[in-house]
Amino acid sequence: MKRKIHLSVRAEKDLLDIWQYTFAHWDETQADKYVDELDQSIQLLADNSEMGTSRSYFRKGYRVLFINRHAVYYTVRGSTVRIVRVLHGQMDPEQHL
């Protein structure tokens, strides 16, 4: 079943922050490429929402998909995959979710 992807406001801000950080440390081309790669991986969840690992032990219903240095935290309800946050892998999810 193909699901709809919904990004929370915080997830949208996370992606913007990732783009800005990458732009500041590398360049626009690299920033565009990296955020596009994150977005393409997120879109895969529409067809396979179970590809992430369960994180229900600290938040009921939460899953995580690791993409390069980032972790996409999401939930699945009915026909919607809700992207909650996109955090750097070194960030403590319990503090940021």
Q: What is the structure's pLDDT at 19?
A: 99
pLDDT of 63-76, one tens digit each? 999 999 999 999 99
Of 56 and 67, the structure prediction assigns the larger pLDDT to 67
Residue closest to 65 by CA, chosen among 2, 80, 81, 36: 81
**Which CATH number does the domain housing residue 87 bear?**
3.30.2310.20
Residue closest to 38 by CA, chosen among 53, 17, 62, 55: 17
Rounded mean pLDDT of 18-24? 98
HSE (side-chain half, CA atoms, 13 Å) at 71: 17
- The number of domains in the chain is 1
Q: What is the structure's pLDDT at 58?
A: 86
Q: Residue 94: pLDDT band by 50, 70, 90 thresholds?
A: confident
Q: What is the structure's pLDDT at 73?
A: 98
Rounded percentage of the chain residues whose pLDDT exceeds 90: 93
**DSSP per-residue codes, 71-86:** EEEEEEETTEEEEEEE
| Full-model pTM | 0.95
Question: Domain residues for 8?
Answer: 4-96
Phi then psi dihedrals of residue 75, to 5 deg: -130, 160
